[in-house]
Amino acid sequence: MELIEAAGGLVSNEENKYLFIYRKDKWDLPKGKLDKGEGFRTAAIREVEEECGIVISSTGDRICKTYHVYEENNATVMKKTVWYWMRADNQTHLTPQLEEGITDAKWLAPGDFMLVKENTYPLIKDVIRVIEW
């Protein structure tokens, strides 16, 4: 089984809203694969900025690691993703990275998370649960 390493962020703004992307008909959090020689935190920042067209103001602690298995090109792949707290202030204009299949990006308040929870992956529900504690 191939192991792919990825990193992403749970990004908040000054209005206590959180950044979500819409890709492959599901709500998701911005994340992506590490480039060769790249660390997890650096990759997380780069991926969030690329996928949403924003600038990260600061990063915080690691939230958690998630693992999921999927099929790609007739092979089984395990993806390990390391998630970080992030902040992006004064970033009202979001530009979804269309070439990565991202068709929407939104800031959502925790009270609006039901929209995401109704149509997301189980591991994303696990990541955003830290906000609701």
**pLDDT one-digit tens code per residue, 4-25:** 999 999 999 999 999 999 999 9
> What pTM value is reported for the model?
0.93
Q: What is the dihedral of CA 98, 104, 108, 114, to 10 degrees?
A: -120
- The tokens of 39 are what? 């660390």
Query: Which domains does the chain carry?
Result: 2-132 (3.90.79.10)
What confidence score (pLDDT) does residue 1 get? 87
Average pLDDT over residues 45-71: 96
Tens of pLDDT, residue by residue over 80-94, are: 999 999 999 999 899
Q: What angle do CA 60, 68, 98 make, to 5 degrees?
A: 70
Q: How confident is the model at residue 97 (pLDDT cuts 50, 70, 90)?
A: very high
Cα 51 from chain centroid (whole Å)? 9
